[in-house]
Amino acid sequence: MVRILHLSDTHVSRTGPDEDGVDGVSALRGLLHDVRRVPDLDLVVVSGDIADDGSAAGCTTVRDLVGQFAAERGIPHVYCTGNHDRREGFTAALGHGHLGPDGAPIGRAAGLDGVIAAVSSVAGLRVITLDSLVPGETYGVLGPDQLDWLAAELSTPAPAGSIVVLHHPPVWTDAVPYQRSAVLQEPEALGAVLADTDVQAVLCGHLHHQLTAQLANKPVWVTPGVITRIDLTAPSALVRGVLGAGATIVELGRAFGPMFHTVHARDPRTGTEVYVYDPQTGSDTTEEVSA
């Protein structure tokens, strides 16, 4: 069995708070503190939006905090880009995104122009990160070169199977306004590559709330955000962001698996409203929240 701590959307910036005034460093520290006793972890995955401002400084802060957690357990930590990230800042801090327990690079980069994709092996599990970032846009895209590379990597099974990590989910729900326009575009192209392969799960972030679905009969899991989460109890026309750091423990290679266990940081401010956004009017009400 392989156990993964899946984080996403840390949104740390060089100045501290994100664009909504939330302190991502405190949120990440609090979450890592609260999961410190989770046993038998083999890997930490961070599925994008690492730096709210795309800076190398923001990525470095996340790398150092997650890296210390991973080093204490002797396990690798793996990252992919999100829509808030910038490739130059990501590369400066994280290289191709696959780091060993000591912070040194592991695995190999895809070697594709203009994207940061890579592959490594952890306890026999093949870990593949994809780059769905479209600079300046909220939605994500995987180009044909990246999909061809993914198909080549998956053409031979791995001892413990594979996982694919990308920021933008290749699925959506109409329960959240505008979501379809913000996720991975043309998900069928990714599904065609994943079909009939050894991929056990597709791990994503971006939506700031937990969601499970399927693509080409492969489980897709969207982990909650670290910085904020989307409150689905808001009126159906609105998007409400609230405090409450979350993460997932992913279990692979066991009966009834894969399994996804959501964990939440213990924070008395959980549920405190940070912003309310109306996609129809474009109005955004944001509260400054000190952390």
Q: What is the pLDDT of residue 15?
A: 78
The tokens for 176 are 């959240």
Look at strands 77-80 and 98-99 and give their pairing.
antiparallel
Per-residue CA distances from 26 to 151, 224, 265 (Å): 39, 16, 11
Helix (H) or strand (E) holding 235: none
Q: Helices in the chain by DSSP H: which ranges?
A: 24-34, 56-73, 87-94, 144-154, 187-194
Beta bridge partners of 18: none
Q: What is the pLDDT of residue 288?
A: 53
In our burial notation (b when 16+ CB lie closer than 10 A, e otherwise), range 229-260 reads bbbeebeeebbbbbbbbbbbbbbbeeeeebbb
Per-residue CA distances from 175 to 181, 273, 275, 280 (Å): 13, 19, 18, 15
**154 contacts 34 by C-beta, under 8 angstroms:** no
**98 contacts 104 by C-beta, under 8 angstroms:** no
Q: What is the pLDDT of residue 290?
A: 46
Q: What is the pLDDT of residue 103?
A: 98
Three-state DSSP at 121 gives: strand
Q: How far apart are CA 175 and CA 89, in angstroms?
A: 34
Q: How far apart are CA 241 and CA 102, in angstroms?
A: 35
For residue 176, which of 103, 229, 114 has the smallest C-alpha distance? 229
Per-residue CA distances from 240 to 13, 115, 208, 215 (Å): 22, 32, 11, 27
Q: What is the pLDDT of residue 178?
A: 81
Q: What is the pLDDT of residue 213?
A: 97
Q: What is the pLDDT of residue 287?
A: 58
Q: How far apart are CA 156 and CA 122, in angstroms?
A: 16
Domains present along the chain, CATH in parentheses: 2-286 (3.60.21.10)
Beta bridge partners of 250: 4, 260
Q: What is the pLDDT of residue 95?
A: 98
**pLDDT in 10s for each residue of the chain, 291 residues:** 999 999 999 999 987 788 888 999 999 999 999 999 999 999 999 999 999 999 999 999 999 999 999 999 999 999 999 999 999 999 999 999 999 999 999 999 999 999 999 999 999 999 999 999 999 999 999 999 999 999 999 999 999 999 999 999 999 988 777 889 999 999 999 999 999 999 999 999 999 999 999 999 999 999 999 999 999 898 888 889 999 999 999 999 989 999 999 999 999 999 999 999 887 777 776 655 544
Indicate if the alpha-carbon torsion angle 263, 269, 275, 277 is positive or negative.
positive
Q: Tokens 């080409």 label which residue? A: 216
Q: What is the pLDDT of residue 37?
A: 96
